[in-house]
Amino acid sequence: MKKRIIFLLSIILLVQCTKVPLTGRKQLSIIPNSELLPMSFTQYNEITKEGDVIHNSEWAGMVKNVGNRIKIAAETYMKQNGISDQLTGYNWEFKLLKGDSVVNAWCLPGGKVAFYTGIMPICKDEKGVAVVMGHEVAHAIANHGRERMSQGLVANGLVGGVAAALGENRSLTEEILLQSAGIGSQLGMLSYSRLHESEADKIGLIFMAIAGYNPNEAPAFWKRMAENKKTGTEIPEFLSTHPSTSERIKDLEKAIPEAMKYYKDEK
């Protein structure tokens, strides 16, 4: 079984790769967005059912506004670099979900973002929301969900495309998608990789800078997150699914000068 998977993986690696915008890294993608995104949107609608979503609060408005600003920044970058076609089928949404003890935010493929109320006090204000939003939008633009979904399908021998995978084992295929975005039970198999996290951090800094938010807010946010970890009774999910923190802050500080090239102080 293992040999077969390695064989499949090497064949697939030869033929089915795409490039990550901004970093140029080659990534595995055995499924086109045209197949993946409809499934992703269905899952998003299921997770963000009415009753779990907060519509009218200052925070909910902030998540929407910042989301739109970062989205426009990302689209602007893609347009200026002649790669807008990679956003075909995206349908952005930015929702705030109930969950005061859930210190987390995530993004499903195609631009479906959710923040939980539990992460908002650590974001503290619009600038903090922009740090997390930049990171989440970067996951979407870099197709990290699709890459991880591809890896998850291959690892489970499901390589015939999304429809075939759903037909063969619907619950497993859905589970792989959710794990690809860091949602739901973390079985370890698909916990966030350091590579994706640092890539999303770097790209996120650039998007927040284009959107008019100072990239220096990012290390400040992660320091607050580390503080919360010390004082909180539970480890925030955003830390347990995302590698942490002092090294991350160092890496962010290294990436800030590049991001500052895109930042125009609006004052």
Q: Which residues are catalytic?
A: 136
Interaction residues for Zn ion, span 14-73 (CB under 5 A): none
Site string for Zn ion, 183-202 (x = CB under 5 A): -----------------x--
Tell me how far, at minimum, the Cβ of 78 lies from Zn ion, in Å.
Answer: 20
User: What minimum distance in Å lies between the beta carbon of 159 and Zn ion?
Assistant: 26
Instruction: State both tokens at 118.
Output: 């539990």
Q: What angle, rounded to 10 degrees, do the helices at 194-210 and 144-155 form?
A: 160
x-or-dash string of contact with Zn ion, 201-240, rule CB under 5 A: ----------------------------------------
- If the CB atoms of residues 158 and 178 are measured against Zn ion, the closer one turns out to be 178
The residue type at 193 = S
> Least distance from C-beta 56 to Zn ion, angstroms?
28
Is the CB of 200 or the CB of 255 nearer to Zn ion?
200
In the three-class reduction of DSSP (H, G, I as helix; E, B as strand; rest coil), residue 188 is classed as coil
Between 69 and 135, name the residue whose CB sits nearer to Zn ion: 135
> Is the CB of residue 30 less than 8 Å from the CB of residue 12?
yes
C-beta closer to Zn ion: residue 35 or 237: 237
What minimum distance in Å lies between the beta carbon of 191 and Zn ion? 11
As a whole number of angstroms, the distance between CA 32 and CA 190 comes to 20
CA distances from 51 to 2, 47, 55, 61, 106 (A): 44, 11, 10, 17, 19
State the alpha helices, DSSP H only, in the chain: 2-15, 33-47, 58-80, 120-123, 126-141, 144-155, 162-168, 170-180, 194-210, 217-231, 237-240, 246-260
**How many residues line the site for Zn ion (CB under 5 A)?**
1
Judged by beta carbon, residue 176 or residue 200, the one nearer Zn ion is: 200
Structure tokens of 165? 């995978």
Give the helix/strand (H/E) hosting 87. none
Residue showing tokens 């602007």? 76
Q: Name the site residues for Zn ion (rule: CB under 5 A).
A: 200
